[in-house]
Amino acid sequence: MSFAITRRRAAAAALTAALLVPLAACGDDASTNEGGDRKATASAGGAPKADLTVLAAASLTNVFKTAGAAYEKANPGTKITFSFAGSQELVAQVTQGSPADAIVTADTKSMDKVKADTSTPTIIAKNRLVIATGEGNPHKIDDLKDLADTKLKIVLAAPEVPAGKYSKQVLDAQKITVKPVSQEPNVRAVLSKVELGEADAGLVYKTDAATAADKVDAVEIPDAQNAIAQYPAATLKDSKNAEAAAAFVAWLSSPEGQKILQDAGFQKP
């Protein structure tokens, strides 16, 4: 082999290596196809890397922030942005075409309204109602029938909100008439009214009351009088990150995801 040929091959190898450096660097970000659409690449955790937008029920606010941080740590390169609202608002966002990758509602009926837009839902958790009162329960509210006292300022979630539907269900079953001073757009707004002293009591999820344990008391409602909330999760068919979204939804049912949910007070699916 001549010296000239050897030099040419060495130069070609060096050029190839030089070209591969910027390509490897580009591999740290989502790649782009000819049409300009972003493709997910695999993260160190095995799930595809992507920037995900997840529509989630307001009652998941605290736990999903924890879950999202844990998932991002386990899957470097993935970023999850949550949009929290009442489930009825999430449904409206989907039907209006708001860009998102997955949705988690606080009841199956809300999810049913967008079934044409989602994959088959999976129940990831359950919840139950409690009566939230001011710290120390100053009005000595012991059970549901105490909420009928017209001297008390009671606040409930609006009827179209899952928490409002569950509240109506348990009150109607016990034949208790409550005249709320306000009906809120999501369960977190109910909790806020009680926290601020603008209401004497309200019906919220057990997990919501737990997030404000230093400001409100939670009066348990017996199982026979209670309602069980179910949280279905699904990917959206219009997601540009379908594989990455499916990986996150599946992770919510994994041992790691379930531990975070149950540590926050949610029940097993």
Domain boundaries, the chain: 35-126+230-263, 127-228
- Which residue's entry shows tokens 């919220």? 204
pLDDT in tens, 136-193: 999 999 999 999 999 999 999 999 999 999 999 999 999 999 999 999 999 999 999 9
Buried b (16+ CB within 10 A) or exposed e, 103-123: bbbbbeebbebbeebbbebbe
pLDDT at 82: 98
**pTM for the whole thing?**
0.81
Angle (CA) 219-268-229 rounded to 5° is 55
**What is the Cα–Cα distance from 63 to 69, expressed in whole angstroms?**
10
Residue among 162, 87, 178 at smallest CA distance from 129: 162
Q: Which residue has the higher pLDDT, 40 or 135?
A: 135
pLDDT at 48: 81
pLDDT in tens, 55-69: 999 999 999 999 999
pLDDT in tens, 81-137: 999 999 999 999 999 999 999 999 999 999 999 999 999 999 999 999 999 999 999
Phi, psi of 251 (to 5 degrees): -65, -30
Does the structure show a pLDDT above 90 at 228?
yes
Burial of 41 (0-12, 13-18, 19+ CB in 10 A): middle
Decide yes or no: CATH 3.20.20.70 for domain 35-126+230-263.
no
In terms of CATH, what superfamily is 127-228? Periplasmic binding protein-like II (3.40.190.10)
pLDDT at 29: 39
Same fold, 35-126+230-263 and 127-228: yes
Average pLDDT over residues 224-253: 97
Burial of 138 (0-12, 13-18, 19+ CB in 10 A): exposed
